[in-house]
Structures are given as C-alpha cells and as structure tokens.
Chain A
C-alpha cells in the first residue's frame, strides 16, 4: 500500500506542495477512496466522490494555508461530500444507488489469510461481518468517527479537527459506537451458547 505520510508542512510550503497536484493525488487518493468506500459502502460512488474531492481541493488550493495537515483538509472535503451525497441519495430515494455496494460478505472475504487454520479464518470473517453489520447501524456521525479512528487510525484530536466537533463529542460518538458493536457481539455470542 502507498504510504500517505508526509512531513508537516510550513505555511509557505503548503501551497507550493499543492502546485504539484499529481503527487498529492498519488499520495492521498488511496486513503480518501478507502474512507469514502467505507463510509458509503459503494465503490462507484466512492470513486466519483474521490475525484470530486480532489477537484474541489485543486480549485480551492489557494485557500489552503497549512493550518491543518493536508490529510485533514482533504478528509474534511471528503466528509462534506459524503454528507451532500447522502442527502441527495435520500432525496432520490426512488433510484437504486447501491447496486454495486460493497456488502458485508465482501468485507469479510477480504480478510488477510494469516490465520493458522480454516476454522480460524471462518471465525475471523464472521466477527468482521458482525462488526460491519454494526457499522451499518451507526448514525452518520458515529460511523464517521468510528471509521476515522479504527480504519484510518486517526487520533481523537485529529478527528475532532477534521469533523469540526469537540473532542468530548468525538469521544461520546465513539463510546456509543463501540457499545453498539460490543452489544451486538455479546448478543451474538449469547445466542450461540
């Protein structure tokens, strides 16, 4: 996987870096696409929104002052696009927009085959599917915070900066999201017993 880590940018350098936009796209496209795909569960929509995200970033590159990291800025643009997309999808409810959706079975099947036995692989897949089902039950904000924390591995302060929430609000959303996942997992294990 392509590393998306860039050294912290000075204020003057930030615009200079954006001038080489191809490099920015190459570095950050995987991360933005991954986040959008996980947020929308839709590959095509994620690809379109990734393009939109970089187009918006390119058009607004002079507004970027380097006050936040490039990654945070791009993720914030992606978040706004997700919000707009979900709103328009709600408005166009008669259209089937999730034909190519990445369903839970897909996610489970993408688990790296590092387990020692096929039974363990099946068990892992089942657990991941259960977590993914829980993620689909989250509210939009819970889902965003959860994905940024556990898929993108962002710190709480960074999530707060990206989403524009308080750190305490981020914690609250994350706590509720984790409780939903745990409740579902415990309910499942009780059901199995």
Chain B
C-alpha cells in the first residue's frame, strides 16, 4: 500500500502523489513498519492471560478514588476559604468607621465655638476703629501707643482664636 506502481501513482491527484513515497524512501518506510511490528510482536504473540483487564480495572478504581479524594479536598478548602472570608464580608472594617466618625465631632465643636464667637462679637461694643474720624484724630494726638494697643486688642483676639 505504501508504494504504488508507477501507473497508479500517475493516476493520483498531484497533492496525493506528494504523500505517496516511492523508490528507496518507500522501502525505508516499509522497513520501519516491519521493525515496529516485530518490536511489538513478542508482547502480543502470547495469548491474552486470564484476568488481563483486572489491572486496568484496579487502576480505574484507584483513579476514581483519587478523584473523589481530590474533589473532597478541594471542596473542604473552598469551604474553609468561605468561612474565613465570611466575617470580612458581613462586618465592614473598623478603621474605616472610625475615620468617618472622627471628623464629625470636631465639626460639632467648631459650630459651638463659632456660635460663641459670634455671640461675643455681637455683644461687644463698637470698636474704636469704627468711631468717627474726629475722635480718632484726638486719640492719635494724645497717647498713640495706648490707643494702638486698644485698637489692636480685638484683632489680636481674633487672630488668636
């Protein structure tokens, strides 16, 4: 079959001619076939022993058992992983909550402080800077240092706050 006579080779389509070795190459392939057959013969020439398939059945059973074991192991690992991650899924991380709560308190404190500041500012008397210019001139002519200090006092207070 490997080597067709020349006539049958010519009858083949061109692409199949490429696939049909001829001459020495075909003889080499025939020798390869014979060699493989002869190499296999000692094993297969003997009659099939009784219980020949028992080994295969044993291997099949072992493979099944190993498969079941592997799947059980995988299932157990997956279950453990799920149980391990469960607390993280149900309870959000505490640091995040603390971070969200902390800024709220200063805001409340700031508001009250701000209200107090507003109250004090409203209750204060009119600052000297808002006094009529004539009065301001008088003040500047007499004790400038005292006036300056009294003028800067509320501003310093505001800066300090």
Contacts and interface: CB of A to CB of B under 8 A. Distances in A.
Given A107-B39, A110-B38, A150-B2, A22 B33 contact: no
Interface residues of B, number: 32
Interface residues of A, number: 45
A182 B25 contact: yes
B56 A48 contact: yes
B56 A29 contact: no
B34 interface: yes
Give chain B's interface secondary structure class.
Answer: helix
A131 interface: yes
Contacts of B161: none
A192 B34 CA distance: 26
Contacts of B59: 48, 52
Contacts, number: 105
A51 interface: yes
Interface in A40-91: 43, 46-48, 51-52, 54-55, 58
Contacts of A108: 35
B18 interface: yes
A33 B43 CA distance: 9
If over half of A's interface residues share one DSSP class (helix, strand or loop), that class is named, otherwise mixed; here it is helix
A171 B21 CA distance: 13
A131 B30 CA distance: 11
A25 B40 contact: no
Residue in A47, A112, A128, A182 with the greatest tally of chain B CB atoms within 10 Å: A128
Interface in B51-65: 52-53, 55-57, 59-60
B155 interface: no
A75 to B, nearest CB: 15
A69 to B, nearest CB: 17
Nearest to B44: A30
B137 interface: no
A38 B38 CA distance: 12
B54 to A, nearest CB: 9
A111 B34 contact: yes
B72 interface: no
A109 to B, nearest CB: 8
A153 B2 contact: yes
Contacts of B60: 52, 55
Interface string A19-45: 000100110011001100110000100
A127 B37 contact: no
Nearest to A108: B35
Contacts of B36: 34, 37-38, 107, 110, 151
Interface of B: 1-2, 15-16, 18-19, 21, 25, 28-29, 31-41, 43-44, 47-48, 52-53, 55-57, 59-60
Given A102-B39, A171-B16, 10 more contacts: A34-B36, A34-B44, A51-B55, A52-B59, A52-B60, A111-B34, A124-B31, A150-B33, A151-B32, A185-B28
